[in-house]
């Protein structure tokens, strides 16, 4: 198990979301505004629902940081749900039951399986926690990990590459621009972005929803994070698991991904060359920065596919669990498309796994020890 771990708590319309992060070394300077910047990016995106207009997510630190620096203690991050004010009766902690129960369960959501498994008769008891509102807490944790990684010379960025079948043209993307935050949809092909917005508008008009694909890129990771020694030390496996653990993510690719099943080895594997200084280099990165479950010094490239949002304004056929009859599924205030928000969550989950991998390899209770270990290792492997 990695020395860096975290838990989140909180319901979508509860008082707040909380995360406890343990394992960040002492001596890391933390800029809360950088974390809040990521929280704001998670809220953005064409096609988001009304909830995001109510919230202005800000993380509050209630433990683990003193005078702007970590002390090695568990760090507690808290994000208040402004919408709680409108839900104090329906989400009361100790009050009496109030409001209609949610019984017309939604296909594609946790509602039905959750009520059966946890023996509840109101799907709100399930959907409040299954909701991706929880990802705000993960983005705060990821923001902290991004600051830790930045101190180690590692940067994590993301961009949207497909929405509802509209794909970017790689040739139109300036990869340096990715991560600049200059796009509403977190998409750096302006032509595709316009077409994506159009597609979202159409889906909205039809009471429908859309999914898509985003890509996370890690720059500056030293080679040798992760290991080939055991299945559960492989970094490709950890990254894929973290990405799949985001609500609505149904597929993950690393590098050329599923294309590997179509092309011959001569068109997939990245050939190696020697520079004049005697350094090994590659001209391509179809491995996506990972070979043998270890980083190989190239950019890490992970893509994730998000399914369309399961709450439709033109609801799907379903059942009412209280009345045992067929009905149309319930409607909760909802996003039409949240791929750009999911890309920020993907960035956070990747940052958490990368921070764990760095700590596993270089250890250290104090940042100065970790950075010294890392520097001598980088000098030895020149990566
Ligand atoms: C950033 C983000 C925002 C989401 N917004 C919504 C939403 O507004 N309405 C909804 O029904 N599902 C939304 N989802 C998806 C559901 O949370 C998810 O489909 C549900 O919890 C069931 O989990 P599963 O799709 O992984 O099986 C969102 C997911 C993410 C990552």
In the chain, domain spans: 5-382
pLDDT in tens, the chain (383 residues): 568 999 999 999 999 999 999 999 999 999 999 999 999 999 988 888 877 788 899 999 999 999 999 999 999 999 999 999 999 999 999 999 999 999 999 999 999 999 999 999 999 999 999 999 999 999 999 999 999 999 999 999 999 999 999 999 999 999 989 998 889 999 999 999 999 999 999 999 999 999 999 999 999 999 999 999 999 999 999 999 999 999 999 999 999 999 999 999 999 999 999 999 999 999 999 999 999 999 999 999 999 999 999 999 999 999 999 999 999 999 888 999 999 999 999 999 999 999 999 999 999 899 999 999 999 999 999 75
Ligand 1 binding pocket includes 342 (Cβ within 6 Å): yes
Cα of 380 from ligand 1 centre, angstroms: 45
Long-range Cβ contacts of 283-289 (<8 Å, 24+ apart): 285/255, 286/255, 286/256, 286/259, 286/260, 287/254, 287/255, 287/256, 288/253, 288/254, 288/255, 288/256, 288/257, 289/218, 289/221, 289/255
* Two tokens, residue 31: 């800029």
pLDDT of residue 287: 98
- How many CB atoms sit inside 10 A of residue 96's CB? 6
pLDDT of residue 55: 82
**Helix/strand/coil (H, E, C) string of 353-364?**
HHHHHHHHHHCC
Cα of first residue to Cα of last residue in the chain, in angstroms, is 25
Q: Which helix (H) or strand (E) holds 347?
A: helix 339-362
Q: Is the dihedral of CA 291, 292, 293, 297 positive or negative?
A: negative
Secondary structure of residue 208 in the 3-state scheme: coil
pLDDT of residue 1: 53
pLDDT of residue 140: 98
* Whole-angstrom distance, CA of residue 212 vs CA of residue 259: 18
How large is the greatest C-alpha to C-alpha distance in the chain, in angstroms? 75
* Whole-angstrom distance, CA of residue 144 vs CA of residue 170: 30
By CB neighbour count within 10 A (0-12 exposed, 13-18 middle, 19+ buried), where does 262 fall? exposed
Cα of 61 from ligand 1 centre, angstroms: 27
pLDDT of residue 165: 97
Fold of the CATH domain 5-382 = Chorismate synthase, AroC fold (3.60.150)
Q: Give the residue among 155, 162, 211 at the shortest CA–CA distance from 187.
A: 162
Asked if 337 and 46 touch (Cβ cutoff 8 Å), the reply is yes
Ligand 1 binding pocket includes 339 (Cβ within 6 Å): no
Q: Tell me which of 310, 336, 340 to substitute to probe ligand 1's pocket, judged by most ligand atoms within 8 Å of the beta carbon.
A: 310
Ligand 1 binding pocket includes 247 (Cβ within 6 Å): yes
* Two tokens, residue 353: 């796994």
Cα of 111 from ligand 1 centre, angstroms: 12
Ligand 1 binding pocket includes 348 (Cβ within 6 Å): no
Cα of 70 from ligand 1 centre, angstroms: 33
Asked if 126 and 115 touch (Cβ cutoff 8 Å), the reply is yes
Residue 336 has what DSSP assignment?
S
């Amino acid at each position: 198990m990695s020395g860096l771990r975290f838990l989140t708590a909180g319901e979508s319309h509860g008082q707040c979301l909380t995360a406890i992060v343990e394992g960040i070394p002492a001596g890391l300077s933390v800029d809360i505004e950088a974390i809040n910047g990521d929280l704001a990016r998670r809220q953005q995106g064409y096609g988001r629902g009304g909830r995001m207009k109510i919230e202005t997510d800000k993380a509050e630190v209630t433990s683990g940081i003193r005078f702007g620096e970590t002390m090695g203690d568990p760090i507690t991050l808290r994000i208040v749900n402004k919408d709680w004010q409108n839900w104090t009766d329906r989400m009361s902690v100790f009050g009496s039951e109030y409001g209609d129960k949610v019984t017309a369960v939604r296909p594609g959501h946790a509602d039905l399986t959750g009520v059966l498994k946890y023996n509840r008769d109101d799907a709100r008891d399930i959907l409040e926690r299954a909701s991706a509102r929880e990802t705000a807490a993960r983005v705060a944790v990821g923001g902290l990990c991004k600051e830790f990684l930045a101190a180690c010379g590692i940067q994590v960025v993301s961009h949207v590459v497909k929405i509802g079948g509209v794909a970017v043209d790689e040739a139109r993307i300036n990869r340096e621009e990715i991560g600049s935050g200059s796009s509403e949809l977190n998409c750096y092909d302006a032509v595709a972005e316009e077409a994506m917005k159009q597609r979202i508008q159409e889906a909205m008009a039809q009471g429908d929803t859309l999914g898509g694909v985003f890509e996370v890129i890690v720059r500056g990771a030293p080679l040798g994070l992760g290991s080939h020694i055991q299945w559960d030390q492989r970094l490709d496996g950890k990254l894929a698991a973290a990405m799949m653990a985001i609500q609505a993510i149904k597929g993950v690719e690393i590098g050329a991904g599923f294309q590997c099943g179509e092309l011959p080895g001569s068109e997939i594997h990245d050939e190696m060359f020697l520079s004049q200084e005697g350094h090994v280099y590659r001209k391509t990165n179809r491995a996506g920065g990972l070979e043998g479950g270890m980083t190989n010094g190239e950019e890490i490239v992970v893509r994730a596919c998000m399914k369309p949002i399961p709450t439709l304004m033109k609801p799907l056929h379903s059942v009412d669990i209280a009345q045992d009859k067929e009905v149309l599924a319930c409607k909760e205030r909802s996003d039409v498309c949240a791929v750009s928000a999911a890309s920020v969550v993907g960035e956070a989950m990747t940052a958490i796994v990368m921070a764990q991998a760095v700590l596993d390899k270089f250890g250290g209770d104090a940042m100065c020890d970790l950075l010294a270990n890392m520097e001598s290792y980088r000098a030895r492997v020149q990566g």
